[in-house]
Amino acid sequence: MEFNFKKKFGQNFLKDSNVLNKIIEISNIDKESLIIEIGPGSGYLTRYLVKKGKVLSYEIDNDLKEILCNEFKDCENVEFIFDDFLKRNVKEDIKKYSYNKLYIVANLPYYITTPIINKLIEEKISIDKMVIMVQKEVGERFSAKPGNKDYSSITVFLNYYFDIKKEFVVSRNSFVPKPNVDSIVISFTKKKNKLLVNDENKFFKLIRDSFKYKRKTLKNNLNDYDFNIINKVLNQHNMSEDIRAEHIPIDIFIEISNNL
Ligand code: SAM
């Protein structure tokens, strides 16, 4: 393939069919699904995805247009949008599709992993399953447990919607060009029973505020809140008021939010 890889777009293309097969197996894509891919590159993963469902694939690099359009010219199962995924109105883009389930399957551009996840959460796109390859350290953050330094507001948001699983580590040798970091595939499966939050906006604000300053205690981060109520919940769980947000499990955050 004649192509000048662009570092600025995080272009490290997969070249390992074992990894691709495993991603597809884990995704376990239902018939009649729509699959969103962010960053098809030259279409290695896309080739596997089009066999499983309709694919809507966003690629920022116009230099890949010719390669992708040629490669998939006879394929009716894919639409490419050559644009910055972060600027798209995804809900609008997917409106014309009829599907039973929505999947996100992608080897993400690592430099914007968190903005992509934040966009999906903030825009409340109803995703049934997401299988993504990310930088190993970032994957640890998404799947961190309370008490771990990587446990953050994004972990809590993701845990609210999904059951999260670290699937497998992918060596840097599986890519061209070879990146400086290893990768991990993480799966996010929509929770069967939604957690019982009375007021989502209130809950989301509580999480954002609780983690605002990482070094501060919960009490200091939440000085605008009625801390007597919060303290009562903490005490019931044998937690002191000097606790930091990174030690609090999602169900206790929910209890606090529902009591406020
Ligand atoms: N999926 C391919 C594969 O596995 O071989 C390529 C993955 S590569 C890590 C990331 C891809 O995302 C690149 O093709 C890059 O051009 C594209 N990309 C980077 N920023 C993007 C953005 N903001 N919107 C859409 N695509 C983007």
Residue having the nearest C-alpha atom to atom 1 of ligand 1: 40
* Neighbour-count burial of 47, counting CB atoms closer than 10 A to its CB (0-12 exposed, 13-18 middle, 19+ buried): middle
Question: Residue written as tokens 């890519």?
Answer: 175
Which atom number of ligand 1 is nearest to the Cα of residue 58? 25
Does 254 lie in the same domain as 148? no
Q: Find the 158 Cα to ligand 1 centroid distance in Å.
A: 22
> Across residues 73-86, what is the average pLDDT?
97
Instruction: Give the Å distance between the CA of 54 and the centre of ligand 1.
Output: 19
**Does residue 97 share a domain with residue 120?**
yes
What domain range includes position 79?
7-190
97 and 129 share a domain?
Answer: yes
Query: Burial, 22: exposed, middle or buried (Cβ in 10 Å; 0-12, 13-18, 19+)?
Result: middle
Query: Average pLDDT over the chain, rounded to whole?
Result: 95
Q: Is residue 1 part of a domain?
A: no
Instruction: Determine the distance separating the centroid of ligand 1 and the alpha carbon of 134, expressed in angstroms.
Output: 12
| Pair (106, 149) in one structural domain | yes
Task: Please indicate, yes or no, whether residues 170 and 237 belong to a single structural domain of this protein.
Answer: no
The pLDDT value given to residue 159: 94
User: Which ligand 1 atom sits nearest the alpha carbon of residue 109?
Assistant: 10
Tens of pLDDT, residue by residue over 64-76, are 999 999 999 999 9
Q: What is the CATH number of the domain that holds 233?
A: 1.10.8.100
Give yes or no: residues 183 and 204 share one domain: no
Using the mean position of ligand 1's atoms as its centre, give its distance from the Cα of residue 155 in Å. 23
Whether the per-residue pLDDT at 1 is higher than 70: the answer is: no
